[in-house]
Structure 1
Amino acid sequence: MWKFIVRRLLVTFPQIVLLSILVFVMAQFMPGDALTGQVDPNVSPEIKQQIRERLGLNNPWYVQYTDWIGGAVTGDFGQSFRFKMPVTDLIEQRIYNTFWLSLVTLIFMYIIAVPLGIISGRYNDTWLDQTITGYTYLGFATPLFIFALVMLWIFGYQFGWFPTSGSVAPGLSPGSWDYVWSKFQHLLLPALSMALIGTVSTVQYLRSEIVDTKQRDFIITARAKGASESRVYNRHILRNSVLPIAAFFGWEITGLISGTIFIERIFGYPGMGALFLESVLMRDYSVVTALVLLFGVAAILGALLSDIILSIVDPRIRIK
């Protein structure tokens, strides 16, 4: 077990290094650079050249990369020209909103996926199974941003059940019950929108596992020995079918990264996804590179977490 984890960690570190290099190199092809927007356009080219020299923007790319990654390791991603503040402080303000949105979404996803997958797999080829399968097909075919817009229009504007923008109502004192309740209300609709679409793959996977497990020899043997149907499902079928779902946890984290970018923009939710789109549109070089690096590292760590969980529930995949 520990050998497997150590080997996966040894593979993960070069992946993060390669990711950082790719992020930096691609950022070099963006229009403008870290100086864009920080100086008056009317400043003479000579003064701009002096500033570029002072900031090290004329250095070779590998020297700039070393300086950038050295600052990133210490938590210094530079300065945001749009927000006029350190990128680290800016991300720190937004990361909590994205964290809570992702956490609530994950909770909703498993609350929805596990019961639906179990019902669909246990009663396969019935009208219940056909209904749930139809929902998953519809979820696969519906783009997240379209579904989110429909949810916002219906439950936000038409019914008025949820706030339509922001992360908390203005004028509330942080730490108070009204503040906490308002935060929850603001993230509830975005989280449900992501969960209802993101859960369909887990439902289908769990259904397939249950249907496949029901046909295994040891299930037939358990029934032949006179085990009750409830015992067969609870002790044998569900036990062997639900455990692999745990491995989806890390991959769900990876999927949420792309989901929050669109969801936060649509719902006006001030998280890292909305910050990323704003920074791309404003060509805020420092913020974009920092967020792409963080999103990439989160995806790599999510895959690592999935592999570790899967190795725990299914020891056959461990590397000897």
Structure 2
Amino acid sequence: MTRYIINRLIKSILSLLIVVCIVVGILYKLVPVSKIFLQDEAYKKLKGNPKIAYKLSTMESLGYLDYVTIPEMCALKEGGPGCTENGSDEQKRVIKEFEEDGYKVQQMTESGEGYGAIYATKEYGVFRLVWNYLSQMVQIDGPNRIQDPNNPDLERGYSFGTGPNGAPAIKCSGCKYKYQLYFNGRFPFIHQNAIKLFFGNSYPTNQGIPTLDVISQGQGQLKAREQTFPTGEVLKSPVDQFTLSYKSELDHLDQKRYTDNYANAQTVHENPSMISTSYIFGVSSLILTYLFAMPFAIAMAKNKDKLIDKIGIVYINVLIAIPSLAFIFFVKYIGVSFGLPDKFPHLGFGNPLSYVLPILILGLLSTPSLMLWVRRYMVDQETADYVKFCKAKGLSRQEISSRHIFKNAIIPIVNGIPASIILAISGAVLTEAVFAIPGMGKMLPDSIKAMNNNMVITLTFIFSALAIFAVFLGDILMTIVDPRISLNLKKGE
């Protein structure tokens, strides 16, 4: 088993890296750059040279190219006096050196602000683009992470202590984050800030916010709660002290609350994040699917060609034949006639009625395939030799069905259970769109439409990682259900 896990882990990491490389190459090289600015209102308002400078600086921040202004060029090449003066010998030397390094040196030609300014750009090739992206993706925090010239005497190192909730925690001075490892009451209960994934900032939607923060932070109004700050001050605040990070300059409020430079923190919101929202709906509908489909399918298999089997087959065929969108609006129309909200925001997160229709629709849409396969697997097992042997031994039909047929037929279904649970995080595009649910369902298509490259890469990575992890858990679960299945292949097998 250990060998299998190690091999799968290595293959999974390589697969994810390949996926990221392909997506980065496609987005950065095959999609026209001009499209990424279509939804940037700030870009639309600019004109002339400022617009060119804004575009180049944005492309640099997104990783398309290296953009250097003439003052930066002079500093990098140690240009002497007069380097920033157009036409000077020193400037010509610096420009020549940049051109030899592969840069394209240009001049602002639009009249008005910035006219005549020299700048240099160097577009990255696909391999450099991929390398730049991968090199920043995993960020490891440590005592030497913060280099603040305004705080040369900053103590560096780890220490054991307690968090804001009084639970044990590992703290760090000199790291970006104060709390490296801590415990709280939120799943998975043990949290860390030492290693983080970074996929760049979101752009143009949610501009400047890291993509993972966009989908993982709460939504709605801030949730203030009474808490004690390091200085001893007690007040109601939405600040999450477990996310405290280093801040170079402290303002008056920071000095009243904190005893060191760790004063930046995320805030807590009233409503769940996009990921949590989709997961709530996904898992709830999945439970409904299995509670309805499994008993129905087993009853169909036990009573093959009888009334309940025929009713089930009609139900399966009807739901498969009806387009999903038509089914959603049909159930929605019926639900609204009973007083249920037609849009999730009408009653919001706090009202149970907001969840009824979306969960019911998601659950029912998933039942036909599960019923079909459970019935098929159980019917196929009916003709197996071990069933004939059990009948010869005098076992009742009920005993054969529950103790033998179901146990063997459920193995392929068990393999897909982890995938169903884990991939519930991806949300349902149609259902979330129809009911205006602020979840993950619309994130990927909306990000593609908005040309939000970093968000597309982030979501692709998350969905790919979840799919790979789900398959792995499915294999492990099969060995638990049926010990005859071994994941350790011997030599020659």
TM-score range, shorter chain: 0.7 to 0.9
1:26–1:188: structure 2 CA closer, same or farther, 3 Å change rule?
farther
Rounded to whole Å, the distance in 2 between the matches of 1:54 and 1:198 is 44
1:318–1:151: structure 2 CA closer, same or farther, 3 Å change rule?
same
1:254–1:27: structure 2 CA closer, same or farther, 3 Å change rule?
farther
Matched, 1:47 2:53: yes
Indicate if the aligned counterparts of 1:95 and 1:271 stay in contact, CA closer than 8 A. Answer: yes
Structure with the higher helix share, 1 or 2 = 1
Indicate if the aligned counterparts of 1:166 and 1:186 stay in contact, CA closer than 8 A. Answer: yes
Matched, 1:318 2:487: yes
Q: Deviations over 1:219-276 (max 9, x none)?
A: 2222222223322222222222234321121343587577612221121110011233
2:5 is matched with which residue?
5
Moved over 4 A (4+): 253-259
Amino acid at match of 2:463: F
1:47–1:241: structure 2 CA closer, same or farther, 3 Å change rule?
same
| 1:75 paired residue among 185, 197, 213 | 197
Indicate if the aligned counterparts of 1:244 and 1:313 stay in contact, CA closer than 8 A. Answer: no
Rounded to whole Å, the distance in 1 between the matches of 2:279 and 2:59 is 38
Write the mapping of 1:56-135 to structure 2, written as runs, cut at 5 A: 56-58=63-65, 59-73=124-138, 74-77=196-199, 78-84=201-207, 85-92=209-216, 93-135=273-315
Counterpart of 1:272 in 2: which secondary structure? coil
| 1:144 paired residue among 306, 311, 324 | 324
Structure with the higher strand share, 1 or 2 = 2
Rounded to whole Å, the distance in 2 between the matches of 1:53 and 1:197 is 43
Rounded to whole Å, the distance in 1 between the matches of 2:10 and 2:376 is 33
Q: TM-score, normalised by structure 1?
A: 0.84
**Which ranges in structure 1 are unaligned for 5 or more consecutive residues?**
173-178
Identity %: 23
- Identify the structure with bigger relative contact order (alpha carbons < 8 Å, sequence gap 6+): 1
Give 1:140 deviation, angstroms: 2.3
1:71–1:153: structure 2 CA closer, same or farther, 3 Å change rule?
farther
**Which ranges in structure 2 are unaligned for 5 or more consecutive residues?**
66-123, 139-195, 217-272
Counterpart of 1:273 in 2: which secondary structure? coil
| 2:476 paired residue among 308, 315, 320 | 308
Give 1:46 deviation, angstroms: 4.0
Amino acid at match of 2:420: E
1:30 is matched with which residue?
31
Matched, 1:233 2:379: no
Rounded to whole Å, the distance in 2 between the matches of 1:290 and 1:38 is 24
Matched, 1:165 2:343: yes
1:49–1:103: structure 2 CA closer, same or farther, 3 Å change rule?
closer
Q: TM-score, normalised by structure 2?
A: 0.57
Rounded to whole Å, the distance in 2 between the matches of 1:278 and 1:196 is 26
Indicate if the aligned counterparts of 2:427 and 2:439 stay in contact, CA closer than 8 A. Answer: no
Amino acid at match of 1:64: L
Indicate if the aligned counterparts of 1:279 and 1:285 stay in contact, CA closer than 8 A. Answer: yes
Say how many residue pairs are matched: 308
Amino acid at match of 1:11: K
